[in-house]
Structure formats: C-alpha cells, structure tokens
Structure 1
Amino acid sequence: MTISVENTDKRGQPIMHTPPVVSPQAWETAREQLLVKEKAQTRARDALAAERRRMPWMTVEKPYVFEGTAGKASLVDLFEGRRQLIVYRAFFEPGVFGWPDHACRGCSMVADQVAHVAHLNARDTTLVFVSRAPQADIAQLKARMGWEMPWFTLTDTFDADFGVDEWHGTNVFYHDRNRVFRTYFINNRGDEQMGNTWNYLDITPLGRQEVWEDSPEGYPQTPTYKWWNWHDSYVADAAPDKKWVEVSDAGEAAFRN
C-alpha cells in the first residue's frame, strides 16, 4: 500500500489516529465501561472451559513409540506418572527453515512462552514437545535456547494420527489404569495463546482443579490460590504462612467477582 506524504509525520511514518486524551475521571469511567465487557468475556471463557471438561473422550489404542533422553518411551511413559498429558507438536526436523540450528520460528516462539512446568506438574499435568529431530539435535537446541520442557522424538504415525502432521497443534490426553484417552485438540489460532499455565490447564479434562470451577461431580478441586507456590517449592505437606492464608482468602473472595 502506498502512503501519501500528507498522511505521514516528520519522520515519514504513517500518522496514527489515536483515541482522545481525557481527564482521570473520564478515563476511569471509560475503563469501568470496558471492564463490564471484559468480565463477561472472562465468565464466557470459564463457561467454555467447563463445557470442555464435559467433552467425550476417545480411547487411544495404538502403541506409539517415542525416543527420549532415556531411550524408547511409550505414550504412557510421557505422562511421567501423572494423570494428564499435553503434547505440542513442534516442527524441528530436516527441511524446516533454520535447521539444524533452529526449529520453526513459530514453534520456537511458542516454546519461548512456556511457563515453568512445575506449576503444571503440581496439578497432575505433564507438558511435552515432540518433533522428528533426533535427540542429539533436540538437546543442543534446548541448551542453546534455554528451554526446559521434556522434548521427545517422533518415530511413527503419532503426528498424522492426531492432526499435527502438516501443521502445529496441541493434543491433550488422560491416563487412567493403563488406559489412555484423547480428551482435547487445539491448533491454528488457538495455539498462539498457549504457554500460560492457566491456558494449558483450561484445556485439560480436570481444569485448574479449583473450587470455583464448574466441573463434573467427583473431580479434584482445592481452594483457589492455596496450591500456588514457588516453582522450586512444591511440597505436599508444606503449610503456608498464616499471613499468606489471610491474604489469599481475601483474594479468593475477590476472584469470584
């Protein structure tokens, strides 16, 4: 698109038609008006997550095999003993732009956004990345880019079977008494907002597992905030500080608004 000289500033940049500048009182009024819509969107997102937790499950029958740092691994092994598994198909393999020094630029940006996985682990959830690159290349890439999530090598048709052979995507699985179920899948625009602990938990069958959530009967739930911790301090029997309990109680009450 050609921009005429009349529509540029002294630096030759397009002139931005910015919103009006108003008084603090008028700004606060505008903020409160927008907040009504933002709260409605938050509640709609919560309702959608509640509906997601009631989606039917699909049994995974095929015995998939991956390569990890310890050798061959099954899909069950990827859970690392937890009930929930989130698998992101990242493109790092011969033919990808940047190979072998870089993974796909979009997948790399997703990896950069991943929060510390200890918070997911505390909610009985494991996050892993999978690619077709050999483990030696994955190890070098992770070390150079500072990524710490488990990253496995695909060896069979897992990616094609679960909708991520030609494009990135995130699959969610649940493990129960040696049975594995596929519970959710998200890709395209849905994938771009992943990385945050809460967004990951919201696509799992158990959700955030906090008492305010609308979940099916019998699902695990604990008080809001009480399980939150430093990523190096998740200990099951660690009692929180009394002052923190008081502050988090007040925060939990505000959380419902």
Structure 2
Amino acid sequence: MTTTHKTGTREEWLAARMELLKAEKAHTRQGDALAAQRQALPWVRVDREYLFETERGAASLEDLFGGRSQLLVYHFMFGPDYVAGCPSCSSIADGFNGIVVHLENHDVAFSAVSRAPLAKLQAFRKRMGWTFPWASSSGGDFNFDFNVSFTEQQQRDGSIVYNFERDGHAMDAGEPPPAVVQTAAATGTDVPTFARDRPGLSAFVREGGAIYHTYSSYARGMDAIWGMYPWLDRAPKGRNETAPGIWWRHHDRYEKA
C-alpha cells in the first residue's frame, strides 16, 4: 500500500525544507518579541496576604519564593472534591521535575498550586512519581483572585471570567464537550465540580520589599509549556487529534504495550 502523502526526491525535500526554515526563523524572532512584550507588562503590587500549606508547613506567598527574586506558579486543576488531578494538567506536570533545579539556579522559584488539601496533593504526587514543589491554597482566595477557581454561584449566574473573557470557556455552557466529560470523569467528579477549577500560569517578582504580579496565561496559553506538544508538532502526523475526546491519560493509566 502506498502513502497518500506527497513524496519527492531528497533535493525536492531540501528545497521545501529551506522554505520552511525561513518561516521557522521568523516564528522564532516573533517568539523573542513576544517574550520581551511579556516582560514589559506593568507590574501590579500584591497587597493581599495569602496562606498556603506546603510539605515544610504553613507558607506565605513570599515564602514560596524561597529567597529568590522571581516565582512561577502553575495553577494545577485539583479541586477540593477531586479524587485525582486533572489528566491534562498531569501530562503538563510530567515535565516539571527536570526543570525546577535549573529555574532555582537562575533565581526563579517554582511551585504548583491547587485548592485540594495538602495530603491529597502529596498522595497524588507520590503516585505520579513527581518531586516538584506543590502547595495547597485550600480555604484561601489565591486561586479565585488569579481567575483559576470559581464558585457555584458564578457558574449559575454566568459571571465567570476566564482567559480574560466572560464565559469564555465551554465547560459551563450547554452540553459539555466529550473531552470535558472524559476529563472530569478521570478526576472522579462531575462536570460542574470539575469546571470550578481551571489551568493557568502566573508569574511574580519580589523587589524593594514588595511582591508584584507580572503575568498570567490560561487555556491554550499552556500549550507552550506542555512538553509533549512541541514534539508532536514535529512528528510526521502532528498532533493527530481527530477523536472527540482526549487521547492522553495519567501516565500510569496507559495500557502497557
């Protein structure tokens, strides 16, 4: 059986590859410009006090910096009623272990933060074989203030603002997509409960005795830190996501080949 994809000679491939290289270089330069634009955003002083539970005990937001000047937080979807962490967040988090030591030695602290109680987070972290810092914001306003957690009332009255848009996510509107139903089931919850927490990334800086919020990103803004996607984008068939649900799992839930 022959392939239906376009084929050619090595010379034809090289000519096409050189054209693609021009586009890739332009994309890289645009990425550099976007990074500079992110870093040029105005800083917003954080005046509220936040309390977290960590494996080292109670901690403030400043404590999460660990003496460093910068802090990156991954808002991991693990609500108080979840049985397991979101499989999408989990597949992103599979790439965290190796980067933390490098960030910490470049004056950047890292922590995942979730609303589930610390004991539940620690048990799931052990199951997944992770070692990165993970703090519980249970009972506090941190997740709500940074627009990754929402109340039942917000769901009912349609006042959720996520990814900088009002009702900008399909989790709570009409019939939920199959991927959302499937993902909620993997966390041991129903869709409304699952949808009260969302993924995100927030950055903070500590300077002059104050803490500032500098950047946040949500939804598909997580693609850039989702380790498997840059690889799949270079695979022959790309992301190849044609099914209505999701194909990835918690890494210990794949059938062994």
TM, length-normalised to structure 2: 0.66
Q: Deviations over 1:154-213 (max 9, x none)?
A: 0310011011113111110001132000000000101132156xx9xxxxxxxxxxxxxx
Q: Structure 1 residue 120 and structure 2 residue 96: aligned?
A: no
Q: Spell out, residue by residue over 1:82-137, the C-alpha distance to the aligned partner (whole angstroms, 9 max, x if none).
A: 111011111223433xx1xx211111111112243111112110110111222222
Q: In the alignment, which of 40, 55, 68 is matched to residue 82 of structure 1? A: 68
Query: Which structure 1 residue ranges, 4+ long, deviate > 3 Å from structure 2?
Result: none
Among 163, 178, 185, which residue is 2:147 paired with? Answer: 163
Cα-Cα RMSD: 1.9
2:221 corresponds to = 190
Equivalent residue for 2:133? Answer: 150
Cα offset, 1:50, TM superposition: 1.0
2:161 aligns with none
Bigger relative contact order (CA 8 A; separation at least 6) = 2
Report the CA distance between 1:16 and its aligned residue.
7.2
The answer (yes or no) to whether the contact 2:75–2:114 under 8 Å persists in 1 is yes
Secondary structure (helix, strand or coil) at the match of 1:22 reads coil
Report which of the two structures shows the higher radius of gyration computed on alpha carbons.
1
2:117 maps to a residue whose letter is P
Aligned residues: 179
2:28 match: secondary structure: helix
Instruction: Provide the TM-score with structure 1 as the length reference.
Output: 0.66
Distance 1:116 1:57 in 2: 25
Distance 1:86 1:23, change over 3 A: same
Q: Which runs of 5+ in 1 are unaligned?
A: 1-8, 10-14, 200-257
